[in-house]
Copies of this chain bind each other. A is one copy, B any other.
């Protein structure tokens, strides 16, 4: 009811504010006997961190994951697994000024309407810093899925007008890029030319004090056919919820959904190829406009989708707004702010994808979980 938990079988509860002492997550449902790899969790946190660049080894000590329960000598016991990172000390004076200001397109006044009180220090729970909890839980989910041969990826598909070609994905039966290609630019766009164009979009916005939106592709392969619980807990419905729950996410599209909504079945149906039906997972289709889900259940072909993020709302352009008493003011953000969030959203999309897929997978071919354990 209160909104800070996600999942049923692999259930994570997130806690902590942007400028409180910690951001943390309690995960209930980690398979007992699992050898937890905290380095993989740390690696995903590092990808999410502000100020990072790809493949750097000089890691400072920020956002270090700590484990508080659920794991003994590296083995998960089946008890709730609690992971946290420390927040840097809040410089509360920075927010004093904003504590009475309602920033446009932020959650300030809706928070007041919902709760009657707000933590003005860095946005409190509305801060994107909360996504660190998602990344920690998702990194645990992803390592379990990986051992089952299921892999979750994401990359930046577009920034502003600089965009890759979405239609191309429908023609593929495996992921088109390696993790190295994705990480080869700070944009997390695997195509160097387009990555360059994206950088230009961002720099242009930054110079103007503006910000720019973008889209991220999520991709999952290796998952068996049949995951999903129609008619309301469909795999794609759960993915849509997971993705739209991410800060600044404003649309979700499964497969060729956007194009198909203005097109014809003759172009967007996926013909079924001759197949071995002794196991239903072996059905293949000539194309994958469906995005790997039919009737709310996985097809066994790659799952792919796009998530759209609005431009970050904090800009250093003058904006009309009001204060807590309703008096008009002109707001102009000062100091550093991020003109584009999508590269840092990549590990968050991966995390939410892994959480949804594992939650369904744990309820499905359940025998397999035992084969994963020593």
Contacts and interface: CB of A to CB of B under 8 A. Distances in A.
Interface string A52-92: 00000000000000001110100101111010000000000
Interface stretch (A42-50, A145-153, A180-188, A256-264): A256-264
Given A251-B257, A275-B322, A29 B9 contact: no
A81 B5 CA distance: 13
A317 B266 contact: yes
Contact of A366 (B230, B311, B367): B367
B328 A262 contact: no
Among A5, A75, A104, A230, find the residue whose CB has the most chain B CB atoms closer than 10 A.
Answer: A230
A107 B320 CA distance: 50
A363 interface: yes
Interface in A228-269: 228-234, 236-245, 247, 250-258, 260-266, 268-269
Nearest to A21: B68
**Number of contact residues on A: which range applies?**
35 or more
Contact of A260 (B224, B310, B320): B310
A119 B244 contact: no
Contact of A311 (B208, B263, B290, B322): B263
Contacts of A105: 265, 268-270, 289-290, 294
Interface stretch (A171-179, A189-197, A278-286): A278-286
B29 A1 contact: yes
A271 B68 contact: no
A129 B320 CA distance: 49
A289 B6 CA distance: 28
A218 interface: no
Interface in A207-221: 208, 210-215
Given A115-B226, A250-B255, A274-B327, 19 more contacts: A2-B9, A5-B13, A14-B231, A15-B68, A15-B82, A105-B289, A105-B290, A109-B294, A111-B295, A113-B297, A125-B231, A126-B230, A160-B263, A160-B264, A215-B262, A250-B256, A251-B253, A264-B311, A269-B311
23 contacts: A4-B80, A4-B232, A5-B13, A5-B28, A8-B8, A15-B82, A16-B68, A26-B26, A32-B117, A79-B125, A107-B295, A109-B299, A110-B296, A114-B225, A211-B264, A213-B264, A231-B245, A237-B242, A240-B243, A252-B253, A261-B308, A265-B317, A266-B315
